Amino acid sequence: MSKPLQGIRVIELGAFVAGPFASRLLGEFGADVIKVESLKGDQLRQWGPHAPGQDSYWSLVQTRNKRSISLDLRSEEGQDIVKELIKEADVVLENFKPGTLAKWGLSHEDMKALNPSLIITSISGFGQTGPYRNLPGFGNIAESMGGIRYVTGFPDKPPVRVGLAIGDSIAALYAVIGTLLSLYHRDAQNGKNGQIVDVALTEAIFSFLEGMVPEYVHANSIRERTGNQHVSAAPSNVYPTSDGKWVAIGANSDSLFARLTTVMERNDLAQDLLLQDNKGRVSEIDRLDAEIAKWTRRFTLDEVMEKLNEGSIPAGPIYSIEDILADPQYQARDMFLTLPDERLGDMVMPGIVPKLSETPGEVKWVGPDCGADTEEILSELGHSQEQIDLWKDSGVVRSTSAVKSIS
């Protein structure tokens, strides 16, 4: 079955999270993704738990479906090889600090001159323009300056991290959206008009701030940290159970709240005039949350969930990764894939999002070793084995044994 991006070639120039995550998503739907790595490899290969002598599990997921070529990008020969790749590519996806690629003769203008139909998707801390364009910016900086950390946590505690690389991941999604829009536009223009997709990590986070801009400008309201309470709708919080677990409940419409009071057998709350609409419930949120918590503490998590599900109240347990893997809904939706791998045996990794009915995504292989496809890619570019061996000997390229187990 053909894939939506079959025939599209993506050159990934970047490391860590945002750029590689974006190209991973493109690769899952058929794009031929060539990951250009330094001779030492993407540093994500060293981040987090890993099997003895192997790259991190995170990096093996992040590089799945990709081919890896390892080059000395600071050498003229390495830069020339990248330029050859660009000439044959549809997309270059990079997340270097603005100006870095220009030092290697790979500015946006240089790349467009090589391939006018090229889509160049650039992810950076602050974008390609503006007074901060040359400043370094990682996801934690973007989450801070983009506004999400200011409102995350409890009011009497410092701002906290979400717990995942949320800034990089959101930026990666915008990079994918921009890339797909640009490919659509290019193809509608007979494949001749490439363009630049400029994604700033800070702006990606900023775009998620709901109504906070007009709330401040027009109502002089600054949203503050409120812990797990929803600031605009109630009740919506997490509540303790008798077995030491937590349940999230979202009964924040009038009809849902009425059903919740029925499940709780609390007719007094249903008749309370202050709780008849959302505005009133928000004003009484502390009292309301206390009453709900008093009720949930009487039951185990399973008992609470059974009552809430019977009442059609949106609710769910707070899951650890262990809980997720045991959940039948995730299992039924193929959200755990097991792939053979020469290094690890069978490796379990997350499934694909979104689900497409006619052209679904696919994971063909676990992420390869750094440089596993160097010789294959150089051969496709027309270079002889003799030339490839010379580059290997001189340290221009790195080549490892091709570890790529196809499922």
As given in the structure block, the two tokens for residue 226 are 């409120």
Does position 67 have pLDDT exceeding 60, yes or no?
yes
Q: Residue 345: which H helix or E strand, with range?
A: strand 345-350
CA angle 325, 300, 155 (to 5 degrees): 80
406 has pLDDT over 50: no
Tokens of 33: 């993704």
pLDDT tens for residues 124-149?
A: 999 999 999 999 999 999 999 999 99
Q: What is the 3-state secondary structure (H, E, C) of 216-229?
A: HHHHCCCCCCCCCC
Please give the pLDDT value at position 189. Answer: 85
Q: How confident is the model at residue 2 (pLDDT cuts 50, 70, 90)?
A: confident
The domain limits of the chain are 9-207+333-398, 236-240+246-317
Burial 5-20 (b: 16+ CB within 10 A, else e): beebbbbbbbbbbbbb
| Exposed / middle / buried, residue 345 (Cβ in 10 Å: 0-12, 13-18, 19+) | exposed
What is the reported pLDDT for 402?
54
When the pLDDT of each residue in the chain is averaged and rounded to a whole number, the result is 96
What per-residue confidence (pLDDT) applies to 191?
77
Phi/psi of residue 297, nearest 5 degrees: -65, -15
Strands 196-200 and 236-240, bridge-based pairing:
unpaired
What is 236-240+246-317's CATH number?
3.30.1540.10
- Tell me how far apart the alpha carbons of residues 228 and 36 are, in angstroms, rounded to a whole number: 42
Residue pointed to by tokens 């070639």: 9
CATH number (3.40.50.300, 3.40.50.10540, 3.30.530.20, 3.40.50.620) of 9-207+333-398 reads 3.40.50.10540
- State the average pLDDT over residues 100-128: 97
Q: Which helix or strand (DSSP H or E) is residue 278 part of?
A: helix 278-283
CA distance 262 to 118: 60
Contacts of 354 (CB under 8 A, 6+ apart): none
Identify whether the C-beta of residue 157 lies closer than 8 Å to the C-beta of residue 52.
no
Contact 73, 379 (CB under 8 A): no
Burial of 405 per CB tally in 10 Å (0-12, 13-18, 19+): middle
Across residues 307-331, what is the average pLDDT?
Answer: 98
pLDDT band at 192 (very low <50, low <70, confident <90, very high): confident
Residue type, 406: I
User: Quick one: average pLDDT of 213-218?
Assistant: 98
Task: Give the pLDDT confidence of 159-182 residue by residue, as tens digits.
Answer: 999 999 999 999 999 999 999 999
pLDDT band at 361 (very low <50, low <70, confident <90, very high): very high
The SS3 of residue 317 is: strand
What's the pLDDT score for residue 403? 53
100 pLDDT more than 60: yes
Equal fold, 9-207+333-398 vs 236-240+246-317: no
Instruction: Give the residue-averaged pLDDT of 311-340.
Output: 98
In this prediction, residue 325 carries a pLDDT of 98
Instruction: List the catalytic residues.
Output: 168
Nearest to 12 by CA among 142, 176, 166: 176
Q: What is the pLDDT of residue 190?
A: 81
pLDDT in tens, 365-388: 999 999 999 999 999 999 999 999
Q: Could you give the percent of the chain with pLDDT greater than 70?
A: 98
Confidence class of residue 401 from pLDDT cuts 50, 70 and 90?
low
- Number of neighbouring beta carbons within 10 Å of residue 334: 11
Buried b (16+ CB within 10 A) or exposed e, 237-262: bbbebeeebbbebbbbeeebbebbbe
| C-alpha to C-alpha distance for 228 and 226, rounded to whole angstroms | 6
Query: What integer is the mean pLDDT of 150-158?
Result: 97
At 407 the pLDDT is: 45
- Crossing angle of helices 166-188/18-28, nearest 10°? 50
pLDDT for the residue numbered 33: 98
Beta strand residue intervals within 251-322, DSSP E: 315-317
Phi, psi (5° rounding) for residue 236? -155, 100
